[in-house]
Amino acid sequence: MTGRVLLLDAAPGELLGRELDRLLGHGLDVTLNLRRVADPAATRAAWAGRLSFTDLDPFDKSVLRDAVRDGGRGFDALKSRAGVPLRAGFLTAATDRALDRPLRVIGRAGAGTDHVDLAAAARLGVTVTHTPGSNADAVAEFALGRILALTRRLVDLNTACHKGCWTAPPPARGLSELTLGVVGLGRIGRALAVRAAALGARVLGWSRNPARIAGVEQLDSLERLLAASDVLSLHLPLTPGTRGLLGPRELALLRPGALLVNTARGGLVDEHALAAALRDPAHPLAGAAVDTFEHEHAAFASPLSGLPNALLTPHVAGMTHGAVEQAALRCADHLAALLAGRPEGVPVARA
């Protein structure tokens, strides 16, 4: 065996089998956490003898710390999909040199790595790999769908029709009548910008690393972008420099009637400031579609809950069949390569 791997949260549904086959095909010794598997009993029966099993809540810090130590055996690597927090205390326990197999690699089936303390990982000799771009098209499509849902009032109209109300709202503006501001022009931001421009929207962009994109006019400051956008879509990673990027001052700079879409990370926006803006009929922000939150999963709580002009979804923008499959299989390949001492071409996240 080239390495012992703990799957904290495996690919869902039928993709679980493909992910396990890929990992086992690399000769890895796999332990599968059954907590988020749809049919644990059937999975045990189907894979008995080929891998080991555990059943734990990965968001429980003490449980996760004990699990990764595994009675002193330890794991060479672990794979995460849902953003389980892996902070300094956990990393210290997982890399204890008294373990038979101290942690060497963390694999993230997805692009974001803000759930990992990258500085602590580097200090303790843990390599963190991820799958940038694996869900870019999925998230871009989802963001575009949220924009259409907000601008065309689809949720309100659906609710009214289900109640038997034949409403006649004021005419909506089409995409060709709107200016879309894209914050962050990485893979996802570019994918959204290209799609929106192809549908006739005027697209403005602001990025820390400007790049030429056909049909996108790039502005030199976030403030200018805010003031010029009818719809603002966020596509930045969460870092110390981007946390709280949009607070009360920034939200007040938006155009009257503006809409905000966040499919990136919850910490980019001050949720309390956003909720206050949406409750204030005099505020320029008229509505928001939010897929990512400061607190998620079992800890989910948001001041946006219950606001009629907030369209909320549970961090599912990147959850298409193709995106999840690509992320899972690429992550498996990255883990195997790193554990085998073949880092060439493997993306690594750094602090």
Q: How far apart are CA 74 and CA 211, in angstroms?
A: 44
Is 255 a residue of the active site? no
Q: What is the full DSSP assignment across 260-309?
A: EEE-S-GGGB-HHHHHHHHH-TTSSEEEEEE---SS-GGG---TTTT-TT
Is 296 a residue of the active site? yes
- Catalytic position from the list 81, 115, 255, 265: 265
- Catalytic position from the list 146, 187, 315, 330: 315
Q: In what order do the strands lie in the sheet with 127-129?
A: 52-54, 29-33, 4-7, 77-80, 105-108, 127-129
Burial class (CB in 10 A: 0-12, 13-18, 19+), 235: buried
Burial 180-199 (b: 16+ CB within 10 A, else e): bbbbbbbbbbbbbbbbbbeb
Amino acid occupying residue 226: L
Is 265 a residue of the active site? yes
* Cβ-based neighbours of 42, under 8 Å, separated by 6 or more: none
- Catalytic position from the list 141, 250, 296, 325: 296
- How far is C-alpha 256 from the geometric centre of its chain's CA atoms? 29
Q: Residue written as tokens 């920034």?
A: 250
Pairing of strands 285-290, 52-54: unpaired
Q: How far apart are CA 108 and CA 332, in angstroms?
A: 9
Are 65 and 90 a contacting pair, CB within 8 Å? yes
Burial class (CB in 10 A: 0-12, 13-18, 19+), 212: exposed
**CA angle, residues 85, 87, 90, in degrees to nearest 5:** 100
Which of the residues are catalytic? 265, 296, 315
